[in-house]
């Protein structure tokens, strides 16, 4: 049985090693030092961000005008970087060119890349490789809170109806949809009915699902395993897909060497469905169900969290089911609903009977 997450981490590790070969040699200390506290995906994102940062220093900071490659940078060079250099880098991230392509960053993108730089400087300062940490003085860009986009009840019904009937799609899309109807309904129902992440969805194996208890095992961020439960609607959609389309795909290709036969969700090429495929699937059906909203798998997760919180009023339950390590993360996303609860509380408490 292929473990999706271990295979994914192998691929990420390979890419990380390729990027570390491009970065200055002294960066290896950083990646080795943070390995125990981070996931390979986090380290890979750091590597991407640091590649942009050192490219900026190489081509835009006069102190390093005589350098011709990233390999010339040393840990001691971090002490030559000024606060002005870092603030200029923040402005640079709004628009820059790299490897012949143009890139832009909004508040969120800038914040992530600058956070990487701060973490990088902090590591070398804490390990006595630089005498001061100039990055600690950098003011991070203000991030404006965005409205949490989620589906309302009628929109949930419409997106599931679209997956079942192909309503609102082109003739070509309907032709494809006839062969994936049960799978698509199962994917959407599972996301909306359990709130799991898209990576958790594509990583599911058939052996992870137990219909006797309506339970399944997911691999959370960081690699932890958790048992979650699903309702009858999810069970019905999953069983329908497993006993029809999934079974048919494997029967038609039984003589072929299907690499990952235990995968729960397959593509028409009989490969484990990808994150991108699920994202495209959700987008396709959401365009007709909720045309004014930009819906992604994460928005379906938000929809589940909203419905669960409205039904229970228990923020700790929502945090646990969604797999949030910090309940404050949950509160941040569902603050608007907490406000609804406060308004309800204010209206139901009576101090005196109404007088005639």
Residue 302 CB: number of other CB atoms within 10 A? 20
In a domain, 55, yes or no: yes
- Residues in CB range of 282: below 8 A, 6 or more apart: 188, 191, 295, 296, 297, 300
Q: Residue 88 has which token pair?
A: 């200029």
Tally of structural domains, the chain:
2
In a domain, 145, yes or no: no
* Greatest Cα pair distance in the chain: 88
Q: How high is the pLDDT of residue 256?
A: 63
In a domain, 241, yes or no: yes
Domain harbouring 292, CATH code:
1.10.443.10
| Secondary structure letter of residue 272 according to DSSP | B
**Helical residues (DSSP H) of the chain, grouped into ranges:** 4-22, 27-33, 40-60, 83-92, 107-126, 153-165, 171-194, 198-202, 232-241, 247-252, 275-289, 297-312, 315-322, 327-333, 335-348
Instruction: Indicate the helix (H) or strand (E) that contains 219.
Output: strand 215-219
Same domain for 219 and 91: no
Same domain for 47 and 130: yes
Residues 313-335 pLDDT 10s? 888 888 888 888 888 777 776 65
Q: Please give the residue range of the domain that contains residue 221.
A: 153-346
Separation CA 67–CA 198 (nearest Å): 43
In a domain, 352, yes or no: no
Contact 186, 265 (CB under 8 A): yes
Residues 181-228 pLDDT 10s? 999 999 999 999 999 999 999 999 999 999 999 999 998 887 788 999
Residues 238-276 pLDDT 10s? 999 999 999 999 888 776 667 788 999 999 989 999 999
Q: How high is the pLDDT of residue 154?
A: 92
Separation CA 210–CA 264 (nearest Å): 12
User: Considering the entire predicted model, what is its pTM?
Assistant: 0.80
Q: How high is the pLDDT of residue 143?
A: 72
Residue 302 or 146, more confident:
302
């Amino acid at each position: 049985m292929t473990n999706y997450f271990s295979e994914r981490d192998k691929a990420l590790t390979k890419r990380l090693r390729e990027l570390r070969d491009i970065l200055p040699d002294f960066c290896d200390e950083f990646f080795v030092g943070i390995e125990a506290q981070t996931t390979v995906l986090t380290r890979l994102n750091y590597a991407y961000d640091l590649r942009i940062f050192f490219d900026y220093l190489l081509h835009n900071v006069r102190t390093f005008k005589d350098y011709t490659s990233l390999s010339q940078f040393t840990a001691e060079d971090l002490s030559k970087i000024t606060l002005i250099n870092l603030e200029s880098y923040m402005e640079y991230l709004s628009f820059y060119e790299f490897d012949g392509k143009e890139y832009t960053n909004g508040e969120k993108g800038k914040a992530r890349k600058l956070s990487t730089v701060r973490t990088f400087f902090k590591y070398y300062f804490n390990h006595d490789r630089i005498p001061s940490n100039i990055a600690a003085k950098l003011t991070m860009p203000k991030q404006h809170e965005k409205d949490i986009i989620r589906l309302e009840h009628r929109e949930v019904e419409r997106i599931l109806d679209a997956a079942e009937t192909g309503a609102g799609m082109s003739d070509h899309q309907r032709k494809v949809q006839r062969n994936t109807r049960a799978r698509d309904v199962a994917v959407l129902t599972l996301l909306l009915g359990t709130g799991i992440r898209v990576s958790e969805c594509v990583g599911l194996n058939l052996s992870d699902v137990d219909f006797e208890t309506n339970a399944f095992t997911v691999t959370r961020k960081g690699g932890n395993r958790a048992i979650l439960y699903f309702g009858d609607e999810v069970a019905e959609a999953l069983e329908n897909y497993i006993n029809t389309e999934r079974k048919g795909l494997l029967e038609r290709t039984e003589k072929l060497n299907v690499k990952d036969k235990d995968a729960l969700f397959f593509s028409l090429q009989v490969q484990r469905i990808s994150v991108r495929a699920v994202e495209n699937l959700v987008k396709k059906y959401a365009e007709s169900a909720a045309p004014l909203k930009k819906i992604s798998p994460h928005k379906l997760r938000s929809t589940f969290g909203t419905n669960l919180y409205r039904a229970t009023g228990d923020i700790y339950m929502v945090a646990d089911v969604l797999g949030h390590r910090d309940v404050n993360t949950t509160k941040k996303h569902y603050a608007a609903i907490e406000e609804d609860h406060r308004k309800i509380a204010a209206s139901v408490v009576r101090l005196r009977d109404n007088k005639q």
